[in-house]
Amino acid sequence: MARFSNKVVLVTGAASGIGEATARRFAQEGAQLVLADLNEKGLDRVAGEIGAEAVLTHATDLSNADRCEETIAATLARFGRLDVLVNNAGKDHLGRVDEGDLKDFSVVIETDLYGVFYMTRFALPHLRKSRGCIVNVSSVSGLGGDWNHSFYCAAKGAVTNFTRAVALDEAKAGVRVNAVNPSLVYTPFTAGMQDQPDLVAKFEERIPMGRAAQPEDITGVIAFLASEDARFVTGVNLPVDGGLSASNGQPALS
C-alpha cells in the first residue's frame, strides 16, 4: 500500500516511541519524510533504520517558536511542499499539582501545547497550498482527568480543543485537522510509569481490552486520519484506548 507516494510528511518527536513508529509507517506507505526531535542521535538512528533516501532529519526544540519555524523552512527547502503534519512531540510530569518544580509545569505546557501551536501556525500556509492535513497526538488525558498527571492533562486538554478550533477555521481551505487520543502506551515516554507496577496495574485495569498499547497500535489510526480514506473527517479527537472511553467516565477499578 502506497497511500502517501509523492506526499511529504513531517513527524515531530520522531526519535522514539509513537513518533518513531509513525515515521516507519509512513515510510512503508511511500512518504517523503521529515523527522524532527531534540534527540539528534535518535533521529539519525531512525532515519538509518528506515533506509529511505527521501528522509530529512531536523534536530529541533519544539518548545521554541524560532526553531519550529526553521523546521518548516527546512522542509520546504528540501521538498518544496508539505502535505501532512503529525504533532507528536511531548513531555510528561508524574505528580500532584504541588509536587515538582514550577518549571516542570512550564516544560510540559511549552512542549505539549506551545509546540503544537507553533508547528501548526508555521505549517498552515503550506498545508493550505497542498490541501493537506494535521494529525495531533493528544491523549485520553486530554478528554478526561488522570491521577498524578494534572500538568499533562492541562496541556493535552488544550490540544484536544485546539484541534477542534483549527479544524473549524481551516475546513473551507481544505485542511483537515484531527487528533488521536491514546491511553497508556508502552514507550520510553512512559518509562517512569512503567517503573511503578501498582500504578500501571490500575491503568490497565481501567482498559477493557486489559492491556496498554504498543506504538504500532496507534500509528495505523494516524495514517488513516492523514489519508484520503478520511477525506470527510475533520475536527475529530479519536480515542485509541482499548475501549477505555466506552466506560463513559466510570473507571473500572475495584
Cβ neighbors of 178 (< 8 A, separation 6 or more) are 133, 134, 135, 136, 163, 167, 225, 230, 233, 234, 235, 236, 237, 238
Answer whether 208's CB lies under 8 Å from 172's CB.
no
Any domain includes 243: no
What pTM does this model have? 0.91
In this structure, is residue 206 part of a structural domain? no
Do 43 and 71 contact (CB within 8 A), yes or no? no
> Which of the following is catalytic: 114, 118, 152, 186?
152
The parent domain of residue 94 ranges over 8-187+215-236
| Residue-level pLDDT at 189 | 61
Q: How many CB atoms lie within 10 A of CB 158?
A: 18
Q: Please check whether residue 233 is in contact with residue 225, taking contact to mean a CB–CB distance below 8 angstroms.
A: yes
Contact 119, 87 (CB under 8 A): yes
Cell of 171: 475546513
* DSSP output for 30-45: T-EEEEEES-HHHHHH
- Residue 177 maps to a domain: yes
Provide CB contacts within 8 A for 74, sequence distance 6+.
34, 56, 58
* Count of domains observed in the chain: 1
- 10-residue block means of pLDDT along the chain (254 residues)? 92 95 96 96 95 89 97 98 96 83 92 97 98 96 83 95 98 98 76 64 75 88 98 97 73 34
Give me the pLDDT at residue 88, please: 95
Q: Is there a domain that residue 174 lies in?
A: yes
Q: Write the burial class of residue 206 (CB in 10 Å: 0-12 exposed, 13-18 middle, 19+ buried).
A: buried
Q: Give a yes or no: residue 122 inside a domain.
A: yes
Alpha-carbon dihedral angle through residues 215, 221, 224, 230, given to the nearest 10 degrees:
-160
56 occurs within a structural domain: yes
Q: Is 248 part of any domain? A: no
> Which is nearest to 30 in space by CA: 223, 177, 222?
223
Q: Tell me, yes or no, whether 242 lies in a domain.
A: no
Active site residue 186: no
pLDDT at 246: 83
**What's the CATH number where 27 sits?**
3.40.50.720
